[in-house]
Structure 1
Amino acid sequence: MEREEHVLDVRRLSIRFGSIGVLRDLSFHVAAGTTLAILGPNGAGKTVLFKALIGAVPYEGEIRWKPATRIGYVPQKLDLERDVPITGVDFLRACGR
């Protein structure tokens, strides 16, 4: 499959926090029209991978998104005041801008 057909192309992705290696030499691609599931136990690096994919943590390697690709990320925990009224739809609209 040609690289241009990939929505996402990840090559040799490595992430470290200080002396702790979280991900090492991870490579994969996602073709247009396919679904990818990331599974693993707590602490396996799933959240760190997603944060790297959206540019929220530093990494080594290459992450290439097809131009105009949009990705959404909803963190497991939000730092919102409990008395702030917000629905899931409101949150997604705010983050999609």
Structure 2
Amino acid sequence: MVISSPSNELVKRARALRTRKGRERTGMFVVEGSRAIATVVAAGAAVDVVLTVPDFDEPRLARLPVRRETITAELLATLTDEVSPPGCLALVASP
């Protein structure tokens, strides 16, 4: 199932992490890109969920023991400040 609603709970949580207040309140932050996500997992960080676009195929992420959800590219673009979003982002617990 592809998440396409801006009112989805995961989308709301990810959007809240765009602000300092949201990050401090939840104790989480966003990591963008498959290499960065793989690095935080290897470092032992607690990854809550990885959001990817439907056509995102990255073997590095497929091997990771993390929960993955699919989200539309348009919705993912609203959750990042990147001009060209990497196609994936993760919600990670702060150390």
Give the alignment's TM-score, normalised by structure 1.
0.26
Q: Which of structures 1 and 2 has the bigger CA Rg?
A: 1
More contact order relative to length (CA 8 Å, sep ≥ 6): 2
**More helix per residue: 1 or 2?**
2
Structure whose residues are more often strand by fraction = 1
TM-score scaled by length of structure 2: 0.27
